Homo-oligomer: A and B are copies of this chain.
Amino acid sequence: MSSAPEGYDPHAFFPFAVTVDLAVFTVREARLHVLLVERGEAPYKGRWALPGGFVLPRESAEAAARRELAEETGLTQKSVCGFHLEQLRTYSDPDRDPRMRVVSVAYAALVPDLPEPRGGGDAAHAQWWDAGATGPLAFDHDRILADAHDRIGARLEYSCLATAFCPAEFTLGELQQVYETVWGVELDRPNFRRKVLTTPGFVKAVDGPPRRTGGRGKPAALYRAGAATALHPPLLRPEGRPEGRTS
């Protein structure tokens, strides 16, 4: 009766507000960080929240997310278009916003270590937080953040997007740090190296033998992200053989 079997029944139309929420991740100092903004008004005044905002009348959710990403990081639209941005899922609980019916499309963005977001406008409110040590966030953002973290961790297993956390040129140690930080585990360095280098298209060595000085130890070779997007076979997290095996 209230449904629309043919697809769309104008009589059943009910107006929703549609927003995007962004979980913008980066890896800083071996910790996963997420960009948060402090709320200045009720509800949840003073609480921290994921950046986000309304989808405009002539804008896709993807475009809105990209726009918000630029605004909150204080960068230009152009400079953020290289960042990895992926839709997570949509949150639609009727009571997720106490004021009105708001459906939110959540996105995860992966960015390299950026300077503190002190761009002109909106970005002034934004700040990086340790993703595992945020207080309780506004609305259902704790849930969204947890889902986003889970998703990114899973994506690292089957895709090459760990490079999205790194600058244009990076060492294998830095790439490994991304995995270790997102997964919260330590990986064996030679094994990680072997896996990355034998996966065609994951990374490509920077031509000459340039090296980066980070401090101690032997200088590391530099690499760039390769053309591959999928990781086949996957790079599975350690741990977790659930039970014993037969033999």
A residues neighboring B (CB under 8 Å): 2-10, 12-19, 37, 39-41, 44, 49, 51-62, 67-68, 71-72, 87, 89-90, 92-94, 97, 99-103, 105, 121-122, 125, 138-139, 158, 198, 200-201, 228, 230, 232-234, 236, 240-246
Contact = CB atoms under 8 A, between A and B. Distances in A.
Given A3-B53, A8-B102, A240 B232 contact: yes
B122 A54 contact: no
A97 B7 CA distance: 11
A37 to B, nearest CB: 6
Nearest to A93: B60
Given A16-B15, A92-B18, A7 B138 contact: yes
A188 to B, nearest CB: 18
A56 B14 contact: yes
B54 A6 contact: no
B9 A54 contact: yes
Nearest to A240: B232
Residue from the set A6, A12, A125 with the largest chain B CB neighbour count within 10 Å? A6
A47 to B, nearest CB: 9
A54 B12 contact: yes
Given A13-B17, A61-B103, A89-B89, A5 B125 contact: yes
Given A90-B61, A92-B18, A37 B122 contact: no
Contacts of A232: 236, 240-242
Nearest to A92: B61
Contacts of A236: 232-234
Contacts of A37: 5-7
A17 B16 contact: yes
20 contacts: A5-B72, A5-B121, A7-B37, A7-B49, A7-B139, A8-B17, A8-B102, A12-B53, A13-B54, A13-B100, A14-B17, A14-B54, A18-B18, A58-B94, A61-B90, A62-B92, A87-B90, A90-B90, A201-B243, A232-B241
B4 A54 contact: yes
Contact of A51 (B5, B125, B244): B5
Contacts of A121: 5
A16 B19 contact: no
